[in-house]
Structure 1
Amino acid sequence: MAFDMLRGLRQPANQLPVDHPLLSRLSPLMLITGDTVRRFGWKQDHLAESLGRSGSLEVRLARGPREIWRAQRLRYRVFYQEMSAKPDVIARMFRRDADRYDAACDHLLVIDHAARGRFGGLKPKVVGTYRLMREGSALRLGGFYTQSEFDLSGMIERHRGMRFLELGRSCVLKPYRTKKTVELLWHGIWAYVRHHRIDAMFGCASFDGTDPNALALPLSFLHHHARAEGEWSATARPERHVAMDRLPIEQVDAKAALKLLPPLIKGYLRLGARFGSGAVVDKQFGTTDVLVIVPVSAIDRRYLDYLGDEGQRYAA
């Protein structure tokens, strides 16, 4: 199969049948070109050139296809080479984590301007990224990425007129996994939220591993103590639903559970996030995913005071 797909590379694209597996897998990579991205609808966001700085680190949006490629390379390095995601032949060939959503998203980057290239000269490097998708872009694609795992229809319908933002594909290069880098990313997200007047954020957050029983304590903690209810409730799609209440509430040791939460999920909790009902096992990425929901009105005031309402803590 892999040989047949690679052999197809020697043929002009217009000679391949439209249902050829090579085209379906290459299409996310083909989308990230200047002309195609413009026709798809992506354009440079009218935010400031730089959203914030701390020392040699800068946070800003990707300025074009080349920088989106760099974000995809970083994602591949973290998800596939460092973690347990399983690349197919196309991802392995190009060493990029890419999908059909990339061309419709804004890509938030943390760039180290003091990084050195292989010959010792200065060569700015993308060391952190977040993918941001607004509702208009999602509608053109038939839905958000998160909707492949979670049913958001009721939550969105109950908040018609609100502006939603999907957060996804977050990762930071290992040497840069510090408080400063994470805060820079959130500084950039907050600037983006204010600029586009976003009302609520959501996305998938992941536990490493695909055995929900091994994650019984942290999953049960989120279910019993941080579950979204009422107008913000949402659940995993029925065909992918994995129960999170694996332990009764009286058996959940909150302190022990908090120690087992990944840093990203801990950060969302501090922000004021709530979590959907049911988890989803993602075998390709080797993770168990939960739905994070963050209404902007529910963000902890202490966090906003820390960044500053205008996001001036790391102002460029």
Structure 2
Amino acid sequence: MIGLKKGRYVARVASSQDDIVAAQKLRFKSFHTAEIDGLDRDAFDPACAHILVEDRKSGTLVCCFRMLPLADGNEIARSYSAQFYELSALQSFAGAMVEMGRFCIDPAWKDPDILRVAWAAMTRYVDENNVEMLFGCSSFKGTDAGQYGDAFAMLRDRHLAPKRWLPRVKSPKVFQFAARLRRKPDLARAQSRMPPLLRSYLLMGGWVSDHAVVDEDLNTLHVFTGLEIKKISPARKRLLRAMTA
């Protein structure tokens, strides 16, 4: 069971309804624009393990995400992502899968170590549960695809899903960047516009859908993102596991 301390932070699994409510409050703060306090919650929360990253000294919740375990690809329709993507290609995936979702860091906290601790917690979860694929929706802030042209062009050129796993269009409003973009990416600009979580996935060999879903409810553009654990390089695996020690 996840429970690790790294530097000034501690990562743990939510153990009470109060913990889950705290995560839902942080999610609301991160994903919604209303100037009120509220809860971001849905029907998937009860089936998930909720991971909290807290400041050890103050106990402040600085990051959270949830993990939905699936026995194999036959259960892919149970996932949150299946609402937005046609994922029948992944039904043939034979190993254990987990959907990582609702990842957010408190906007007031800028410490890059928070993301590192979150990845350490994810790594421990993957190892403890013999997970063979990690997947989810990686979000770009806002719904204006134009501001992310270089990032999407780089995804098209370097990081599209293998054909055997490629998600197909399901949502009514999408940006089909692989088909529509003709520009060559400015790689420095692409990296600067890439969400940090997605950048981490890609460094480990992750891949994305060929289109982005326009999610006006959460004011995001998101791409389906998959990471086959066996495709992570040995050096990268050693680095990730070292963070869990």
TM-score scaled by structure 2?
0.90
Q: Is residue 2:37 matched to residue 1:72?
A: no
Q: Is residue 2:81 matched to residue 1:146?
A: yes
Alignment of 1:122-271 (within 5 A): 124-135=59-70, 143-155=78-90, 157-159=91-93, 161-237=94-170, 239-245=172-178, 246-248=180-182, 251-271=184-204
CA distance in structure 2 between the partners assigned to 1:295 and 1:228 by the alignment: 11
CA distance in structure 2 between the partners assigned to 1:65 and 1:139 by the alignment: 30
Q: Is residue 2:38 matched to residue 1:95?
A: yes
Alignment of 1:27-106 (within 5 A): 47=1, 50=3, 52-80=4-32, 84=33, 95-106=38-49
From 53, 56, 62, the equivalent of 1:113 is: 56
Write 1 or 2 for the structure with the bigger share of helix. Answer: 1
Native 8 Å contact 1:217 1:247 kept in 2: no
Give the number of the structure with larger relative contact order, counting CA–CA contacts within 8 Å between residues 6 or more apart: 2
Unaligned runs of 5+ in 1: 1-46, 116-123
| Structure 1 vs Structure 2 CA RMSD | 2.4
Native 8 Å contact 2:28 2:38 kept in 1: yes
CA distance in structure 1 between the partners assigned to 2:125 and 2:43 by the alignment: 22
Q: Which amino acid aligns with 1:313?
A: M
Post-superposition offset of 1:248: 1.9
CA distance in structure 1 between the partners assigned to 2:172 and 2:154 by the alignment: 23
Cα 1:163–1:262 shift into 2, 3 Å: same
Post-superposition offset of 1:139: 8.5
Q: Which amino acid aligns with 2:124?
A: A
Q: Could you tell me the percent identity over the aligned residues?
A: 25
What is the SS of the residue equivalent to 2:31? helix
Native 8 Å contact 1:204 1:292 kept in 2: yes
CA distance in structure 2 between the partners assigned to 1:190 and 1:287 by the alignment: 26
Cα 1:238–1:53 shift into 2, 3 Å: closer
Aligned to 1:289: 222
Cα 1:150–1:306 shift into 2, 3 Å: same
Q: Which amino acid aligns with 1:133?
A: L
Number of aligned residue pairs: 244
Post-superposition offset of 1:70: 0.8
Native 8 Å contact 1:236 1:276 kept in 2: no
Cα 1:141–1:264 shift into 2, 3 Å: closer
Post-superposition offset of 1:185: 0.8
Post-superposition offset of 1:190: 0.8
**Structure with max Cα Rg:** 1
What is the SS of the residue equivalent to 1:230? coil
Native 8 Å contact 2:98 2:135 kept in 1: yes
